[in-house]
Structure 1
Amino acid sequence: MGLHIARCHCGTMNGQDEKPGNGTDSGIYHERQQKELCAMHALNNLFQVQGAFTKKDLDELCNKLSPDAFFNPHRSILGLGNYDVNVIMAALQKKGYDTIWFDKRKSIDCLQFENIMGFILNIPTEYKWGFVRLPIHRKHWISIKCINNQYVNLDSKLDCPEIIGDSAALKEFLHNQLMDNDKELLLVVAQEVGETGAWRKECCVFPPVATADAICDSNAEMTCVSNGSMKQKSQETFPGSN
């Protein structure tokens, strides 16, 4: 079965439709959820291109990250997806982007939104059998991007993308999301932006961040590296997602 792809009219976060012609109509690319491929959907939705990454691409990255592992720690044991943060970071690096973990102790106001290509949220998700909630705990990747001067929630579990609004609305949205300790935010920036720190305002001081240079296997401990980035144990911070 092929990907479920929607190019549909977007609604706002409060459920009211925006009028066509104001930058929120049917030009948005949106892949919908299949199996445990939310990481692939989040990446393709972020780049607004079908096939920017395929399941084969992400599986190859898993093998490069842990070439000798009998059971690859970066994806589902069943091979259905469920890719971890290391795979997302490696994929973005292939496109010339760094991935920066946002320290939730800092204010969203510290971010220079105009220098950030997009956002990826890692959020809890629930499994249900009919109306019964199952005791299965997984997380889910979603992407957020500015399209036609408005930020859009491109969650693959939505029927259609949802308009968040301008930068003020995005600040409020991200602030509300990050009040949940189980949610994490990744910033996607061009490599030169990551190197210069132009994704943050000069008045804000951040601790060392995890960028694409910090990709490591799941057995590595958190250690600082020479460029000031941080290697992090992905299975502790970002469990497998779907």
Structure 2
Amino acid sequence: MSQAPGAQPSRPSVYHERQRLELCAVHALNNVLQQQLFSQEAADEICKRDPSTLLHQGHAGDPEMRPVLAPDSRLNPHRSLLGTGNYDVNVIMAALQGLGLATVWWDRRRPLSQLALPQVLGLILNLPSPMSLGLLSLPLRRRHWVALRQVDGVYYNLDSKLRAPEALGGEDGVRAFLAGALAQGLCEVLLVVTKEVEEKGCWLRTD
């Protein structure tokens, strides 16, 4: 069906969660998956669920099959003591594993030209983020999780601290964004891929 003269093409619908508490890991998971699959409660369960529940015979995406990290720990090392989130990478990796996906750390020593982006479902970055108290900026930095994802041929920065998704363009655009982030130091890049891609190693270009 043709569009009326002068009509603007509709923009793709991009799922983007905004920051709440210290839940950037949860937001990054949902943003990279482009749907709300995880909550604070689900992340807490990954941290503490009794391993005996893993005996349930279900498929990889079944909540009962999701991995656990520290079921008997009162002071759980994978989240904030205040109960506001601040989950570490183990929670992110376990959450994705529970959905049948895999994660691969990108070796920052490799040139980004070797990253086979078409084989990658999405990327999750761990970046230093400035802290503030109201309008007062503090001389401290905390770690912040940020998702990058392609939607309809366009890569987006889905940082939960942004008001709206930031379009990065095609592969050149996302590589430039990654290069800038890595150049600042203290940046880690986690590739989200299928199990098959992980096993074959085809997230890495060899040509």
TM-score higher than 0.5 here?
Answer: yes
Kindly provide the amino acid, as one letter, of the partner of residue 40 in structure 2: K
Please, which of 76, 79, 84 is the counterpart of residue 75 of structure 1?
Answer: 79
Structure 1 stretches lacking a partner, 5+ long: 1-18, 204-242
Are positions 1:47 and 2:51 aligned together? no
Correspondence for 2:133 among 97, 111, 129: 129
Q: Whole-Å Cα distance in 1 between the matches of residues 180 and 23 of structure 2?
A: 26
Aligned equivalent of 1:57, options 2, 24, 42: 42
Cα deviation code 1:91-139 (max 9, x no counterpart): 0111111111111111110111100000001011111234432133311
Give the length in aligned residue pairs: 182
Output the TM-score relative to the length of structure 2: 0.84
| Residues 181-217 of structure 1: CA deviation (Å, up to 9, x unaligned) | 21111100001100110100124xxxxxxxxxxxxxx
Q: For residue 37 of structure 1, what is the aligned residue in structure 2?
A: 23
Structure with higher helix content: 2
Which structure 2 residue ranges, 5 or more long, are not aligned?
A: 1-6, 49-67
Q: Do the aligned partners of 2:12 and 2:151 also contact (CA within 8 Å) in 1?
A: no
What letter corresponds to residue 93 of structure 1 in structure 2?
Q
Q: TM-score, normalised by structure 1?
A: 0.72
CA distance in 2, matches of 1:180, 1:91: 28
Secondary structure of the structure 2 residue equivalent to 1:43: helix
Native 8 Å contact 2:125 2:145 kept in 1: yes
Query: Are 1:21 and 2:41 an aligned pair?
Result: no
Displacement after TM superposition at 1:73 (Å): 0.3
1:145-181 per-residue CA deviation (whole Å, 9 max, x = no partner) reads 0001000111100000010000011111111110122
Helix, strand or coil: the match of 2:32?
A: helix
Task: Give the partner amino acid of 1:48.
Answer: Q
Q: Cα RMSD over matched residues? A: 1.5
2 CA distance for matches of 1:88 and 1:129? 27
SS at structure 2 position matched to 1:31: coil
In the alignment, which residue of structure 2 is the partner of 1:181? 185
SS of corresponding position for 1:100: strand
Pair 1:76–1:130, CA change in 2 (3 A): closer
Quote the sequence identity (%).
Answer: 46
